[in-house]
Amino acid sequence: MGILVIAEHDNATLKGATLNTVAAAQAIGGDIDLLVAGENCAAAAEEAAKVSGVSRVLVADNAAYAHQLAENMALLVTDLGAGYSHILASATTTGKNFLPRVAAKLDVVQISEIVSVESADTFKRPIYAGNAIATVQSSDSIKVITVRATAFDPVATDGSASVEAVAAAHDAGISAFVKEELAVSDRPELTAAKVIISGGRGMGNGENFGLLEKVADKLGAAVGASRAAVDAGFVPNDMQVGQTGKIVAPELYIAVGISGAIQHLAGMKDSKFIVAINKDEEAPIFQVADYGLVADLFDAVPELESKL
Amino acid sequence: MKVLVAVKRVIDYNVKARVKSDQTGVDLANVKMAMNPFCEIAVEEAVRLKEKGAADEIIVVSIGPKAAQEQIRTALALGADRGIQIETDVELESLTVAKLLAKVVEEEQPGLVILGKQSIDSDNNQTGQMLGALTDMPQGTFASEVNVADGKVAVTREVDGGLQTVSLNLPAIVTTDLRLNEPRYASLPNIMKAKRKPLDSKTPADYGVDTSPRLTVLKVESPAERQAGIIVGSVDELVEKLKNEAKVI
């Protein structure tokens, strides 16, 4: 019995989270097939064939999968997945959207956002916003799993898997894509960035995030925000780092004007190095920071930028 | 159109969860409980749909211990019309919850089912999607905007790179994200009125759903604590440490 991993991609390129999910599949052990479902997705499939540890790339190229609508994806993955021992997807908004539908169609439970593989049927996953880690064992014949990408090191891209077309065209005909408004940025994506600089309520307004952007440009960093900054309307929600936003684990995380609410810490406490800049020396963020600087951010951030 | 809203009783979001010393779970004895925040948003959205004339009846369902009637009464005070409790003291898996909700859907035939995208205890983010699969309804998950018109619902979804809008045939499932709305507070007269609204009490057996678990929780531990580091005196010292000690820039 093998493992089916569903690739995260935008038809043109393979998303990095796929490499972490394949790493989780390797930790389980077994033949790994990687499914690329999309429309005109040959370029993504070509990249998928280079992912280390993958035996076969299955390509379902059909208009029904163009935007990976959950209803159609679930029919396809249920159809293909019945013969596997494990079905894995990244715990992104795409994977979280269609995979529970697959699990229900197969009448098995889903194990969400695993952070470690203990054995082929036993996994660790965070609950209560990361305040507890549960070890769970599944008795289902097919294990359906989403993988928290930051918990697994990505596999290399020096493989050469065979590529096979999948003819199955499943269109449930009950949902349709209307439009997409994606943030356009030259900076790396939050979940893929090696360095992240985030602002909180202390930034005061959205324009002041420009200070962080200047530092980000010098460090090749992504810019994030706390939920407080999002709720205050400073910046859009897709910048949110935290339990209710994105879970990140970069090499360097710089928290500026962020107090360190539990919900924010749940999203970034696995970063390798954490820097906190805050004028309140009592702020809880200092309890998790490797380097803390008690200073007014409006002095410290421009100075930091000038010295990089 | 009938709207069905599912709500869950969970630990209050302001309370820090603590793991039991015997590692069997999280200690919920004498802990403040409340409606899951994403479920509050689901109730609010249903009430707004009714206020706009898009919905004519709101049914709220909760699956859990007897005390979950408090959360149903809260939803009734916020504007739901009647409640259904499916009482069980067993902690159910998302798949079982979805199967029970599918039975309620079969009975009630709602045009729209609204749920929170996840509960803040199990953090599964599964029930709405599973209900979609079991009832063959389309789903708009992580919704930040919901518009019902002409037998369809347009749902704007919070996705990783930004926003995506999908159009779903009714009946459909919506799961709520944080920015969908800001829930109102219940007024005292409405809290009093809610006490007289109908509340049906059921059990999983009434629906013929097998509640035995598929997952065994072997243990629940506290996460590794991160140690606090040092306080640096200046930006220069910070840059020096990042370059020479951490070697990350």
Look at A304 and B217 and tell me if their CB atoms are within 8 Å. no
Q: In percent, how much of chain A has pLDDT > 70?
A: 100
Residues in chain B closer than 8 A to A291 (CB atoms): 229-232, 238, 241-242, 246
pLDDT digits (tens, 9 = 90+) for A193-211: 999 999 999 999 999 999 9
Query: With an 8 Å Cβ cutoff, is A134 touching chain B?
Result: yes
Question: Span A123-143, mean pLDDT?
Answer: 95
Bridge partner residues of A259 (DSSP): none
For the residues of A79-140, what is the DSSP string, one character each? HHHTT-SEEEEESSHHHHHHHHHHHHHTT--EEEEE-EEEETTEEEEEEGGGTEEEEEEE-S
Interface of A with B in 233-272 (CB under 8 A): 236-238, 243-244, 246, 251-252, 262, 269, 272
Look at A238 and B158 and tell me if their CB atoms are within 8 Å. yes
Look at B160 and A133 and tell me if their CB atoms are within 8 Å. no
Q: Which helix (H) or strand (E) holds B34?
A: strand B33-35
pLDDT of residue B10: 97
Residue of B nearest to A251 (CA): B248
Report the residue from B123, B234, B248 with minimal CB separation from A126. B123
Distance from CA of B188 to the nearest CA of A (A): 28
Q: Band the pLDDT of B249: cuts 50, 70, 90.
A: confident
Report the residue from A93, A110, A303 with minimal CB separation from B235. A303
Tally the residues of chain B: 249
pTM above 0.90, yes or no: yes
pLDDT of residue A195: 97
Look at A273 and B121 and tell me if their CB atoms are within 8 Å. no
CA atoms of A25 and A31, how far apart (whole Å): 9
Look at B230 and A292 and tell me if their CB atoms are within 8 Å. yes
Q: Look at B210 and B226; give whichever has higher pLDDT.
A: B210
Look at A174 and B138 and tell me if their CB atoms are within 8 Å. yes
Report the residue from A183, A219, A288 with minimal CB separation from B161. A183
pLDDT of residue B221: 96
Report the residue from A70, A109, A131 with minimal CB separation from B16. A131
Q: What residue type is B196 in one-letter code?
A: R
pLDDT above 90 for A50: yes
**Inter-chain CB pairs, A–B, below 8 Å:** 249
pLDDT digits (tens, 9 = 90+) for B162-190: 899 999 999 999 999 988 999 999 999 99
For the residues of A249-288, what is the DSSP string, one character each? --SEEEEES----HHHHHHHTT-SEEEEEES-TT-GGGGT
CA atoms of A208 and A190, how far apart (whole Å): 19
pLDDT above 80 for A1: no
pLDDT digits (tens, 9 = 90+) for B116-127: 999 999 999 999
The residue among B59, B114, B99, B76 whose CA lies nearest residue A105 is B99
Neighbours of A208 (CB within 10 A): 18
CA atoms of B97 and B204, how far apart (whole Å): 9
Interface of B with A in 40-79 (CB under 8 A): none
Query: With an 8 Å Cβ cutoff, is B217 touching chain A?
Result: yes
Tally the residues of chain A: 308
pLDDT digits (tens, 9 = 90+) for A153-188: 999 999 999 999 999 899 999 999 999 998 778 889
Query: With an 8 Å Cβ cutoff, is A288 touching chain B?
Result: yes
pLDDT digits (tens, 9 = 90+) for A254-282: 999 999 998 899 899 989 999 999 999 99
> B249: which residues sit within 8 A by CB, 6+ positions away?
A195, A219, A252, A308, B239, B242, B243
Q: In percent, how much of chain B has pLDDT > 90?
A: 93
Q: Band the pLDDT of A288: cuts 50, 70, 90.
A: very high
Report the residue from B139, B165, B214 with minimal CB separation from A109. B214
Q: Are B218 and A122 in contact (CB under 8 A)?
A: yes
Q: Band the pLDDT of A244: cuts 50, 70, 90.
A: confident
CA atoms of A287 and B226, how far apart (whole Å): 8
Interface of B with A in 92-121 (CB under 8 A): 93-95, 98, 120-121
Residue of A nearest to B126 (CA): A100
Interface of B with A in 159-188 (CB under 8 A): 159-169, 177-179
> B240: which residues sit within 8 A by CB, 6+ positions away?
none
pLDDT above 90 for A25: yes
Q: A122-127 and A132-138: which strand pairing?
A: antiparallel
ipTM of the complex: 0.94
Residues in chain B closer than 8 A to A136 (CB atoms): 215-218
